[in-house]
């Protein structure tokens, strides 16, 4: 009997295959050798004839050097944390390409002395322009970082006065009070779970108070016998007032009348507002700090600020989001339901012509990402057999919808119109049984 190891093509011979050699220039040697090794193991196990080893290695190559896979978000959740939150606008994507090389991130190209420049000055200027009420702005790597910096710089070793009903837990078991206490600040809880009054705050303020913190409970609502103190009343307490609005809404939006925004909060008297860049703003993950110049400067120059600094890619994408066209999240928020219904009907017609069990279905979309939990957006979806959920998730690109009874709904509010052709092809591929292959001799 012939030793199976003698049948395995040598690594150097396989690597000379032109297709693998070309792929190495974009994927690098590690992924190429991994695919070659897997093909050799299949030959060794008798699953693959030796002459097909190179072909199998080429077929096994990833499309890029990252394990992240593109996903068509058809869940109806505009800001889906598990899918990376806000998709970036074309302008922001282009800005990432520019920033990926060597840039003038901290260099003044216009000065004769070749001086160092303010880091992220373009993004900071765009953010300041978007919120004129803010005397100064700063950016860190996410909103939790913004709160940690505020607590450390303004209340480290001191007290933060906060309503008991606003000490929230968000996704993955993350609790804001634990974050704040980790900075060395002491929390002074006031009021009750359902009702807090201005007098509760006033009684708690003393010589050890570092700030008053108001947190928008952005991922739930309470109704009934409840009350909270608005920013305009808290502003009269004569201590720094911080408002964590969470969602990244910079100005009022007609579709989200109950969602706090940075401009209104500052106008009502907040000294500092913290927010996320990758939610309703529609940009990259970032923590936004806007407000009084002296407080922002205190945060910016604190030693912890260096550890929370954002990179050039984030700054570039944030600037392009603020100055460029409406990002996909904002477009999805404003798309008329009638336009979504028309797209759904067109897709259903093409799917049924291809033999797929499909029908148009009224749907309800949500904001997601811990924002505007009370808002329901009417929408339209393509309804498919629930059995297609798994093959759609396994496709390239993956398509993720939501199950509704025995049907899979693909909500079009979160699918840009330009992706309809991609969505159609993905559904047809998932609904077509794979062709039977002959067993390897």
Where do the domains of the chain lie, and which CATH numbers do they carry?
14-60 (no CATH), 71-81+331-431 (3.90.1150.110), 90-324 (3.40.640.10)
Reported pTM = 0.90
- Render pLDDT for 58-112 as a digit per residue (tens, 0 to 9): 999 988 888 899 999 999 999 999 999 999 999 999 999 999 999 999 998 888 7
54 C-beta neighbours (distance < 10 Å), count: 21
pLDDT band for position 2 (cuts 50, 70, 90): low
279 C-beta neighbours (distance < 10 Å), count: 28
The Cα 285–Cα 96 span in angstroms is 13
Of 279, 287, 265, 262, residue with least CA distance to 149: 287
Tell me if 427 sits within 8 A of 351, measured CB to CB: yes
Tokens of 153: 């710089």
Q: If you search the block for the tokens 């150097």, which residue do you land on?
A: 12
pLDDT band for position 435 (cuts 50, 70, 90): low
Tell me if 146 sits within 8 A of 140, measured CB to CB: yes
- Render pLDDT for 280-320 as a digit per residue (tens, 0 to 9): 999 999 999 999 999 999 999 999 999 999 999 999 999 99
């Amino acid at each position: 009997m012939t030793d199976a190891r003698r049948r395995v093509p040598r690594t150097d011979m396989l690597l000379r295959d032109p297709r693998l050699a070309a792929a190495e220039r974009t994927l690098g040697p590690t992924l190429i050798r991994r695919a070659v090794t897997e093909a050799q193991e299949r030959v060794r196990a008798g699953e693959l004839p030796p002459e097909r080893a190179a072909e199998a290695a080429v077929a096994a190559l990833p499309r890029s050097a990252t394990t992240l896979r593109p996903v068509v978000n058809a869940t109806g959740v505009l800001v889906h944390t598990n899918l990376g939150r806000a998709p970036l606008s074309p302008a922001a994507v282009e800005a990432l390409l520019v920033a990926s090389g060597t840039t003038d991130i901290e260099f003044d190209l216009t000065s004769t002395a070749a001086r160092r420049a303010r880091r992220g000055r373009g993004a900071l200027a765009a953010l300041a322009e978007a919120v004129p009420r803010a005397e100064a702005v700063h950016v860190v790597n996410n909103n939790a970082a913004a709160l940690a910096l505020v607590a450390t710089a303004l209340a480290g070793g001191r007290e933060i006065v906060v309503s008991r009903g606003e000490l929230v837990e968000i996704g993955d078991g993350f609790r804001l009070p634990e974050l704040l206490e980790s900075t060395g600040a002491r929390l002074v809880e006031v009021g009750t779970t359902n009702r807090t009054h201005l007098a509760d705050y006033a009684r708690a303020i003393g010589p050890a108070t570092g700030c008053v913190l108001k947190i928008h409970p952005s991922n739930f609502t309470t109704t009934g016998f409840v009350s909270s103190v608005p920013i305009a009343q808290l502003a009269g307490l004569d201590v720094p007032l911080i408002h964590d609005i969470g969602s990244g809404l910079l100005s009022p939006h007609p579709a989200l009348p109950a969602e706090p925004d940075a401009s209104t909060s500052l106008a009502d008297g907040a000294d500092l507002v913290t927010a996320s860049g990758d939610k309703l703003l529609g940009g990259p993950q970032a923590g936004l700090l806007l407000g009084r110049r002296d407080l922002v400067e205190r945060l910016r120059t604190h030693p912890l600020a260096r550890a929370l600094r954002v990179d050039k890619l984030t700054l570039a994408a944030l600037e392009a989001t603020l100055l460029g066209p409406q990002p996909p999240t904002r477009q999805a928020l404003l798309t008329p339901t009638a336009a979504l219904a028309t797209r759904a009907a067109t897709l259903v017609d093409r799917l049924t012509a291809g033999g797929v069990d499909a029908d148009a279905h009224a749907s309800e979309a949500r904001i997601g990402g811990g924002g505007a939990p009370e808002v329901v957006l009417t929408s339209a979806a393509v309804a498919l057999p629930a059995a297609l959920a798994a093959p759609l998730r396994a496709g390239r690109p993956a398509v993720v919808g939501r199950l509704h009874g025995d049907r899979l709904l693909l909500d079009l509010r979160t699918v840009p119109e330009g992706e309809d052709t991609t969505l159609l092809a993905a559904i047809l591929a998932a609904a077509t049984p794979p062709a039977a292959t002959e067993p390897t001799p």
